[in-house]
Amino acid sequence: MFATPAFAQAAGAPGAASALTSFMPLILIFGIMYFLLIRPQQKKLKEHKAMVDALRRGDQIVTQGGILGKVVKVQEDGIVEVEIADGVKVKVMRHTIATVLNKTEPAAS
């Protein structure tokens, strides 16, 4: 008497909308990982490459091994000659230089 008949609703298409909603968390996680991890790392690598490319004779540097020294000679093949004490020179690869402490001013022409 008080009961009304129940009618079944039409089911939605199980195709595109369902697939998009199931991949949405995965897409969101990738977006967060990109902005929190990948992008800052790429920026840091770009800054390090610019720093290493700008090395000149006379710059005070620190290698990744913690050795302090002064750049004596910059070679084209990726090797830098560094003086770590009076008369003691070592050759290091450019990419192993961690930081440049003191930059020298370029010579006036």
Neighbours of 61 (CB within 10 A): 22
Per-residue pLDDT of the chain (109 residues; tens, 9 = 90+): 677 777 766 655 555 668 788 889 999 999 999 999 999 999 999 999 999 999 999 999 999 999 999 999 999 898 999 999 999 999 999 999 999 998 777 655 5
- The Cα–Cα gap between 99 and 44 comes to 12
- The Cα–Cα gap between 37 and 100 comes to 25
56-109: which CATH number, 3.40.47.10, 1.20.1280.50, 2.30.30.140, 3.40.1160.10?
2.30.30.140
- Whether the full predicted model's pTM is greater than 0.85, yes or no, is no
DSSP state of 57: T
Do the beta carbons of residue 70 and residue 82 sit within 8 Å? Answer: yes
Q: What is the pLDDT of residue 15?
A: 58
Q: What is the pLDDT of residue 2?
A: 72
- The Cα–Cα gap between 78 and 61 comes to 15
Q: What is the pLDDT of residue 102?
A: 83
Domain locations in the chain as residue ranges: 14-53, 56-109
